[in-house]
Each structure stands twice: as C-alpha cells, then as structure tokens.
Amino acid sequence: EVQLVESGGGLVQAGGSLRLSCAASGLSFDDYVIGWFRQAPGKEREGVSCISGRDGSTYYTDSVKGRFSISSDNAKNMVYLQMNSLKPEDTAVYYCAADRPYATAWYAGKPSWVDYWGKGTLVTVSS
C-alpha cells in the first residue's frame, strides 16, 4: 500500500520560513515524481513543486520560484519543501503527491492525473 505522509505545516508570519516533509512508502521511489500541490480556500488545487526520484530534476510554479526549494533523500524515501519568504497568499493546505513517470500533472496543472495523495498539512501565513 502506497502512503504519503506530510509533516511540517503550521502558522508563520509573513517573511518567515517553514520546511515541509513527505515520507513515502510502498512505492519504488526512483520510478516516481514526488512533490507538492496546494489548495487555498475557495481555489483550485495547484501544483507547487516536484522532484524526479530518477534524475533529481525539479519543477516550480512561477509564484514560488526563488523562494521555495525542493529536495529529496532517496535512501530515506523523503521529499522536503523548504519555503522561505512566505507570503499570506501561500496560505493553503499542502498535499504531497506522487505520479509517474513524468511530472506532467504539475506541468499541465492536472491534479486529477496524480497517482497518489497524502492527507495534507495546513500552512498559514499571517500578515
């Protein structure tokens, strides 16, 4: 059984930082692209960032480039999202997601194409 378990969400002031973690189990990490979608109240779920377990290539949506950084530890089946310079508009539930073999769900903005989801972790950025 595939499981994606997020941690690290919380409340932070604007300009602050948080690091999200996603623990993946039950899948072959090297075969998947793993990353993050987010959903703010009243908005559609959007792709934030992802990383390829095979070659480490990454994707970032434009609104987080230069502020967020994704990384992985293949030995531990972990993916991390370091979020710096947080803004109130980053407030959302952040979901860990896994898809294969490419990051098409993120590039195409199609969360319905994702194979597996975590339950989400709430990030709240106060102004």
pLDDT per position as a tens digit, 59-73: 999 999 999 999 999
Please name the amino acid found at residue 98.
A
Distance CA 126, CA 11 (A): 7
In this predicted model, what pLDDT tens digit does every residue of 7-17 receive, in sequence order?
999 999 999 99
What percentage of the chain has pLDDT greater than the value 90?
92
Distance between the two ends of the chain, CA-based, in angstroms?
A: 40
Q: Indicate the burial class of 101 (C-beta count within 10 angstroms; 0-12, 13-18, 19 or more).
A: exposed
How far, in Å, are 3, 13, 15, 45, 115 from residue 97 at the CA level? 10, 26, 26, 12, 7
Mean pLDDT of the chain: 96
